Amino acid sequence: MFTLGYGFYKYLVQKDEFCVLILGLDNAGKTTFLESAKTKFTKNYKSMHPSKITTTVGLNIGKIDVSGIRLNFWDLGGQLELQSLWDKYYAESHAIIYIVDSSDRGRIPESKETFDRMIASESLQGIPLLVLANKQDIPDCMGVRDVKPIFNKNAHLIGKRDCMVMPISALTGDGINEGICWLVDCIKRNVFIRPPRNNDDN
């Protein structure tokens, strides 16, 4: 009887799980974004102090529950030598967050080139894409009006998918809620193309 009751309980509380890749160049603010998202959506979560966040070598994993689903974030290292590993995760992902350091104008061409290589992958066709112009708290950073046309130049690579460019500050948390909520709506609409992964360990 316990087993039956427990099984029913698990069925009731089990959430559909979706995997979201957080990509971008090193030092774009990917890990700071993940920490900020966990702080905003996870009750009593104690975030890492920004001064303790170092360059990701490999993979950071985080999860949040929002709007009845679970998002599993995979924050991948952005150094050139690590970008070759990104495509190992594409087939399992349900959405992409691509983070741009809008305060570093000198690396925008490199970020755009990396973005184009990533978005051209057939494994990512049709999945939602959220481009975040990060570090909006820094004076004289590029705004969305500057960033959006640069990353839209090869619109044919983006194709027919939900796509949004939004301003954020991962450090202050501004724009995090709006970005996550937009992504959740897109992921839910896209379940016929990329159905959820259900985890028995919920």
Residue ranges for the binding site? 24-31, 56, 78, 134-137
Nearest CA among 12, 16, 25 for reference residue 132: 25
Query: Residues forming the annotated binding site for Mg(2+)?
Result: 31, 56
The answer to whether the CB of 15 falls within 8 A of the CB of 201 is no
What are the residues facing 97 on neighbouring strands?
22, 130
What residue ranges in the chain does DSSP mark as E strands?
Answer: 16-23, 59-66, 69-76, 95-101, 129-134, 163-167
Angle between helices 30-41 and 176-189 (to 10 degrees): 80
Considering 14, 79, 83, 125, which one is annotated as catalytic? 79
Query: Residues forming the annotated binding site for GTP?
Result: 24-31, 78, 134-137
Secondary structure (DSSP) of 112-151: HHHHHHHHT-GGGTT--EEEEEE-TTSTT---HHHHHHHH
Determine the Cα–Cα distance for residues 186 and 81; give it in Å rounded to an integer: 31
What is the Cα 94 distance to its own chain's centre? 10
The sign of the CA dihedral 71, 77, 78, 83 is negative
In the residue annotation, 79 being an active-site residue is answered as yes
The answer to whether the CB of 54 falls within 8 A of the CB of 106 is no
Catalytic residues: 79
